[in-house]
Amino acid sequence: MPGDGFTIKSRIRKFLRSPSTGKNCKENLTSKVTLEKVLGITSSGNSALACDPRSGLVAYPAGCVVVLLNPKKNRQHHIINTSRKTITALSFSPDGKHLVTGESGHLPAVRVWDVAERKQVAELQKHKYGVSCVAFSPNGKYIVSVGNQHDMMVNVWAWKKDVIVAANKVSSKVKGVSFSEDSSYFVTVGNRHVKFWYLDHCKANKASAPVPLLGRSGLLGELRNNFFCDVACGRGSKSDSTFCITSSGLLCEFNSKRMLDKWVDLRTGLAQSLSLSEHMIFCGCADGTVRAFRPADLHFVCTLPWPHPLGSDVSSMTEAR
């Protein structure tokens, strides 16, 4: 009968609206259901993957959830974004106690989470359309957040005081950000873009309103048309240098005067990521290749062995890949 379908729908709606199966049922399910394990990852770049060097904890997004993975124990913990917006960027604090996240969508927030408690401790809503990069300063006082290509805002946030100390706009799509060892400046990179942002005048600012963030472009010379996809400021004896990587496969070094001083060819079809310590630079390239260089002179050290295929028994292997 034509009216049967309408009758069934009406009964279902009435059943769902009834007090015994509505809000109370939802609350009971929420208290009983817990997230056990996340399969997959929604990271779209380097800025959405982080590792705490102190604990070895790895953080990455899966939709509106941040997965905290302990690779030694193969155990997951989870931070669930209360706004249900997709996480697009994240980074650990220097002491590993806090995690900062950026999200996408209308009026996205930059949130700071307590890693141990997995609870939000601070929130900033100064972007309009999306956050592409976030980072803590090495002294832990500041958080820098960079908006996506539709937002274009760079904010420096004194997160413990909940004050924006400096802000400005960026003219290019930003793919990476890195703080200097002394927290006096940070560097952003992107499409034909390497820019140094200085915080010295921000520290003396006592006004309630943010001051304009002072930025100076890197001197790219003949490499000005490259896509710079990741950046890392030097450490130790190379603290005055800044290292960048291009998607075409070049490892570049900028000196203290922001000048592109030297570069080396990684001999790869595509380069994507960069990580460094005081004594080594690691470059992530195509096909899982990782090449290591010395920061002192960009001398090639080695190519790391590829990881074994998933599901294979390492103890039974007799030949290197």
Q: What is the mean pLDDT of residues 71-99?
A: 94
Instruction: Assess whether pLDDT exceeds 80 at residue 208.
Output: no
Nearest residue to 245 via CA among 263, 257, 258: 263
> Higher model confidence: residue 205 or residue 142?
142
Contact by Cβ (8 Å): 261, 282: no
What are the tens digits of pLDDT across the range 216-272?
Answer: 999 999 999 999 999 999 999 999 999 999 999 999 999 999 999 999 999 998 999
Q: What is the pLDDT of residues 129-148, one digit of tens each?
A: 899 999 999 999 999 999 99
To which residue do tokens 């100390």 refer?
165
pLDDT of residue 219: 96
Structure tokens at 1: 């009968």
The pTM score is: 0.85
Phi, psi (rounded to 5 degrees) for 10: -65, -40
Residue 309 to residue 86: CA distance in whole angstroms: 30
Strand 211-212 and strand 228-233: the pairing is unpaired
**Strand, helix or coil at 51?**
strand
Check if the beta carbon of residue 270 is closer than 8 Å to that of residue 234. no
Closest C-alpha among 110, 138, 177, 143 to residue 53? 138
Q: What tokens does 69 get? A: 């993975």
Q: How confident is the model at residue 28 (pLDDT cuts 50, 70, 90)?
A: low
The Cα–Cα gap between 299 and 144 comes to 32
Long-range CB pairs of 215-221, under 8 A, 24+ apart, other chains included: 215/154, 215/168, 215/170, 216/258, 217/193, 217/258, 218/187, 218/194, 218/242, 218/254, 218/258, 218/259, 218/260, 219/254, 219/257, 219/258, 219/259, 219/260, 220/192, 220/194, 220/260, 221/259, 221/260
pLDDT of residue 14: 65
Reported as a pLDDT band with limits 50, 70 and 90, residue 12 is low
pLDDT interval class at 29 (50, 70, 90): low
